């Protein structure tokens, strides 16, 4: 690198292409430029990314971007570089301090929630004093222009953009507003939604909407302030979305996304006191999460260990012992086999009309001892990895698992009151039991 011609003793790397001096920029801007420069010159970006990063650089140099926008973009990039994916095994229980902060903000949120429904009970976040106003006044702390958010979005890796586009798994995906200001929807994740969510994280300054504690975007979740069980499809739109920590989001969802029920739970939690809450609730949740992470990291080794045994019987017996020791965490073993551990249990009462449930829920396979998870793992290990029988078992079980999900007709009948949801679920469960038993019976020598 050529010696500085301006006499600065900054030891900073100059912007390599234009040789522009970064000392003319504020310190925070310099830090971000270093970050952008390392991405551009590191050979780790796509053409689209590089063009966007170059545009960001140009905007900074020409002062076409505000310092708040720079800080927000830097926060986003730093968060993603540190955590590129969600921590699925993390505890979803808030700290006592977070519950205290939630309690402080709940009254205003509750009022906005109630103001978001018209006289007929229809959800509309545009109503005066509703969720749209609440977001503007209580959640957005940075003014971010749409064009800046779009450039920042384009500067992200395609894998990250894809995750953001579909984050939150709504039944329909926000795709902008029409001329009347009504939301437009798509059956598939959209770029419009992705840009909007990037913009919202930047607007929030990386703070949880309820606790006001810092959150990392890839370890957070899009929060429908009024959930789908109250607002329907209309819940997935810019006027109703923010980013929230899994802990606060989970606490709200556990109380049916009802501000009154949530408030009661918060008051009950605070009534326990910090010491009792930590010992009875928070710390056990942390320990459980830690144990789960251990099983998750150990699963590949344990799965292969069972598969390496010399005979079908030895493979089955070892896998039986391993899967039973994993218990509910057998899902990590199934993941190694490329088999899903859950099915979509459809329920009109849920926020998006469905939720993932364990394949082991409410079933016992006739003629066999053990959970479906353990039995399928035993069947796969008995068959032998890479064999035609292994693929046959895997393919057939995925078909059986998918069949457990109620049909559109059944779902409509439940919604209209023509069918009882418990009866439909029981029917599906019994069918699942029979089909799994038939699959296991079809494997020569497995039940001997």
Q: State pLDDT tens for residues 134-170.
A: 999 999 999 999 999 999 999 898 889 999 999 988 8
Whether residues 267 and 299 share a domain: the answer is no
Predicted confidence (pLDDT) at residue 42 exceeds the cutoff of 60: no
Predicted confidence (pLDDT) at residue 23 exceeds the cutoff of 70: no
pTM exceeds 0.85, yes or no: no
Whether residues 117 and 241 share a domain: the answer is yes
**Is 7 inside a domain boundary?**
no
**Is 48 inside a domain boundary?**
no
Please identify, among 231, 246, 272, the residue that sits at the C-terminal boundary of a domain.
272
**Is 23 inside a domain boundary?**
no
pLDDT classification of 16: cutoffs 50, 70, 90: very low
**Is 30 inside a domain boundary?**
no
Whether residues 254 and 322 share a domain: the answer is no
Can you give the residue range of the structural domain that contains 360? Answer: 284-441
Least confident of 54-63, 108-117, 253-262: 54-63
- Over the stretch 416-432, which tens digit does the pLDDT of each residue have? 889 999 999 999 999 99
Whether residues 268 and 295 share a domain: the answer is no
Q: What is the pLDDT of residue 321?
A: 95
- Reading the block at residue 333, the tokens are 């073993």
Q: What is the pLDDT of residue 107?
A: 96
**Is 88 inside a domain boundary?**
no
Whether residues 221 and 315 share a domain: the answer is no
Q: What is the pLDDT of residue 14?
A: 47
pLDDT, averaged across the chain = 87
Predicted confidence (pLDDT) at residue 172 exceeds the cutoff of 70: yes
Whether residues 395 and 297 share a domain: the answer is yes
Predicted confidence (pLDDT) at residue 240 exceeds the cutoff of 80: yes
Mean pLDDT, residues 109-127:
96
Please identify, among 272, 294, 324, the residue that sits at the C-terminal boundary of a domain.
272
Q: What is the pLDDT of residue 54?
A: 85
Whether residues 125 and 210 share a domain: the answer is yes
**Is 125 inside a domain boundary?**
yes
Closest by CA to 230, choosing from 350, 133, 53, is 350
Predicted confidence (pLDDT) at residue 20 exceeds the cutoff of 70: no
Whether residues 255 and 364 share a domain: the answer is no
pLDDT classification of 226: cutoffs 50, 70, 90: very high
pLDDT classification of 80: cutoffs 50, 70, 90: confident
Whether residues 131 and 263 share a domain: the answer is yes
**Is 5 inside a domain boundary?**
no
pLDDT classification of 350: cutoffs 50, 70, 90: low
Please identify, among 239, 272, 305, the residue that sits at the C-terminal boundary of a domain.
272
pLDDT classification of 53: cutoffs 50, 70, 90: confident
Predicted confidence (pLDDT) at residue 234 exceeds the cutoff of 80: yes
Whether residues 300 and 192 share a domain: the answer is no
Q: What is the domain count for the chain?
A: 2
Burial class from Cβ neighbours inside 10 Å (0-12, 13-18, 19+) for residue 47 reads: exposed
Q: Which residues contact 407 (CB under 8 A, 6 or more apart)?
A: none
Predicted confidence (pLDDT) at residue 133 exceeds the cutoff of 80: yes
Whether residues 259 and 290 share a domain: the answer is no
Whether residues 266 and 288 share a domain: the answer is no
pLDDT classification of 294: cutoffs 50, 70, 90: confident
**Is 403 inside a domain boundary?**
yes
Q: What is the pLDDT of residue 15?
A: 41
- Give yes or no for a contact between 143 and 68, defined as CB atoms under 8 angstroms apart: yes
């Amino acid at each position: 690198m050529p010696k500085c011609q301006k006499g600065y003793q900054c030891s900073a790397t100059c912007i390599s292409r234009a040789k522009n001096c970064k000392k003319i920029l504020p310190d925070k801007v310099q830090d971000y430029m270093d970050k952008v420069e390392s991405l551009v010159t590191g050979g780790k970006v796509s053409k689209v990314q590089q063009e966007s990063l170059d545009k960001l650089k140009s905007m900074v140099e020409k002062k076409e971007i505000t310092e708040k926008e720079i800080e927000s973009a830097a926060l986003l990039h730093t968060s993603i570089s540190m955590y590129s994916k969600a921590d699925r095994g993390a505890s979803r229980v808030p700290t006592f301090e977070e519950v205290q902060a939630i309690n402080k903000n709940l009254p205003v949120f509750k009022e906005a929630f109630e103001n978001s429904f018209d006289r007929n009970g229809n959800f509309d976040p545009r109503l005066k004093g509703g969720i749209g106003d609440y977001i503007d006044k209580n959640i957005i702390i940075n003014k971010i222009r749409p064009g800046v958010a779009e450039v920042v979005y384009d500067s992200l890796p395609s894998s990250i953009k894809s995750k953001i586009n579909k984050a939150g798994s709504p039944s329909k995906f926000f795709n902008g507003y029409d001329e009347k200001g009504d939301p437009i929807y798509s059956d598939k994740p959209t770029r419009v939604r992705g840009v909007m969510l990037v913009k919202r994280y930047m607007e929030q300054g990386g703070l949880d909407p309820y606790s006001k504690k810092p959150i990392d975007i890839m370890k957070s979740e899009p929060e429908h302030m009024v959930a789908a069980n109250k607002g329907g499809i209309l819940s997935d739109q810019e006027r109703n979305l923010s980013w929230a920590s899994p802990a606060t989001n989970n606490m709200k969802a556990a109380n049916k996304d009802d501000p009154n029920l949530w408030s009661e739970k918060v008051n009950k939690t605070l009534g326990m006191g910090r010491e009792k809450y930590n010992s009875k609730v928070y710390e056990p949740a942390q320990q459980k999460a830690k144990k789960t992470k251990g099983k998750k990291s150990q699963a590949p080794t344990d799965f292969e260990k069972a598969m390496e045994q010399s005979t079908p019987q030895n493979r089955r017996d070892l896998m039986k012992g391993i899967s039973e020791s994993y218990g509910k965490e057998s899902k990590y073993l199934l993941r190694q086999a490329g088999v899903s551990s859950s099915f979509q249990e459809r329920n009109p009462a849920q926020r998006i009309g469905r939720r993932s449930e364990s394949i082991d829920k409410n079933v016992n396979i006739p003629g066999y001892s053990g959970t479906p998870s353990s039995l399928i793992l035993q069947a796969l290990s008995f068959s032998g990895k890479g064999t035609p029988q292994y693929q046959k078992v895997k393919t057939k079980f995925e078909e059986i698992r998918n069949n457990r999900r109620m049909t559109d007709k059944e779902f409509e009948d439940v919604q209209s009151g023509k069918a009882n949801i418990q009866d439909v679920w029981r029917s599906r469960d019994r069918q699942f039991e029979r089909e799994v038993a038939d699959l296991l019976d079809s494997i020569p020598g497995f039940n001997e």
